[in-house]
Copies of this chain bind each other. A is one copy, B any other.
Amino acid sequence: MQATSNPSDSVLGLLKAGGLRMTPQRRAIVAEIMATKGHISPTDLARRVRARVPGVNASTIYRTLDLLEEYGVLSHAHLEAGAEYHHRAEGRHVHLTCSNCGWEDALSLQEAGALQKLISKHRAFSPDLTHFAISGLCGSCRGPSR
């Protein structure tokens, strides 16, 4: 019944290999992050981590998020509501967000490939379309006539 390898282990190992220490807070934060799919807002994360380990301070959350970004586990992106973190592996997609109703969707990087090519063709610039969302109007908000 023992979990021989849960999703947190590889990340914890990575941190350990970097000479970092394993504290209960860090374990709890990593565990909560690994259990989360999609967007991770620092505030929400803090709330959920405290459900596991009461008393974890917000500054610890922020410091750990920075750390995990340095170690390549997380990335952050900018959405209408502000900054948001996501698993680097999972986050390889382009956020689409409707400015009218808040509807959200995503393009896979594969789907976005043509976009990237178009931009890099135009300028000496390699776009990372995952970093900022793309705002716009979704099908419903654009109007039923079309």
Question: A: which residues have CB within 8 A of B?
Answer: 78, 80, 96, 98-99, 105, 107, 111, 114-115, 118-119, 122-129, 131-139, 142
Contact = CB atoms under 8 A, between A and B. Distances in A.
Contacts of A129: 134
15 contacts: A96-B123, A96-B127, A98-B125, A105-B123, A107-B122, A115-B118, A115-B119, A118-B118, A124-B139, A124-B142, A125-B138, A126-B136, A126-B137, A129-B134, A132-B132
Contacts of A134: 119, 127-129, 131-132
Contacts of A122: 107, 111
Contacts of A127: 96, 134-136
Given A107-B122, A139-B124, A142-B126, A99 B132 contact: no
Nearest to A131: B135
B119 A125 contact: no
Copies of this chain held together in the complex: 2
Given A114-B118, A126-B137, 7 more contacts: A105-B123, A107-B122, A115-B119, A123-B139, A124-B142, A125-B137, A126-B136
Contacts of A131: 99, 134-136
Contacts of A137: 125-126, 128
B105 A125 contact: yes
Contact of A138 (B115, B124, B136, B138): B124
